[in-house]
């Protein structure tokens, strides 16, 4: 959404398309990692990250 919002300010669409793939892939990878640590329902993942989930204020239990 960030990309959408900034699209019309400085550069033509091609400028965004030029970096869209690496940037979106990186952001998606980041989201998957955060989900795995903070939201995954797998019990072992929950137990390992239990304190981190509480301190990062992800919903827990």
Partner 1 sequence: MLFRRIVLCALLVGALAGLLVSAVQHWQAIPLIASAEVFEGAAESTEEAAALVTSAHEHDHDHAGGDTHAHDAETWAPDEGTERHVWTAVANILTAIGFGLVLVAAITTWEHLRGRPLASAGTGLAWGAAGWLCVFGLPTLGLPPELPGSVAAPLGDRQAWWLLAAASGAAGLALLAFVRGPLRLAGLAVLVLPFAVGAPHLAGGPFAGYDLEIARQMEALAGPFALATTIATAVQWLALGGLSGWAVGKWVRPALTDWTTTP
Task: Give yes or no for residue 6 binding partner 1 (CB under 8 A).
Answer: yes
Task: Give yes or no for residue 26 binding partner 1 (CB under 8 A).
Answer: yes
Task: Give yes or no for residue 36 binding partner 1 (CB under 8 A).
Answer: yes
Rounded to an integer, what distance in angstroms lies between the CA atom of residue 58 and that of residue 39? Answer: 7
Task: Give yes or no for residue 13 binding partner 1 (CB under 8 A).
Answer: no
DSSP class of residue 5? H
The token pair that represents 60 in the structure block = 């827990």
Site residues (vs partner 1, CB under 8 A) = 1-3, 5-7, 9-11, 14-16, 18-19, 21-27, 29-34, 36-39, 43-44, 46-61
């Amino acid at each position: 959404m960030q990309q959408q919002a900034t699209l019309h300010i400085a550069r033509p669409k091609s400028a965004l398309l030029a970096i869209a793939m690496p940037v979106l892939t990186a952001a998606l990878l980041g989201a998957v990692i955060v989900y795995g640590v903070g939201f995954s329902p797998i019990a072992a993942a929950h137990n390992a990250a239990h304190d981190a989930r509480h301190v990062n204020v992800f919903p827990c239990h």
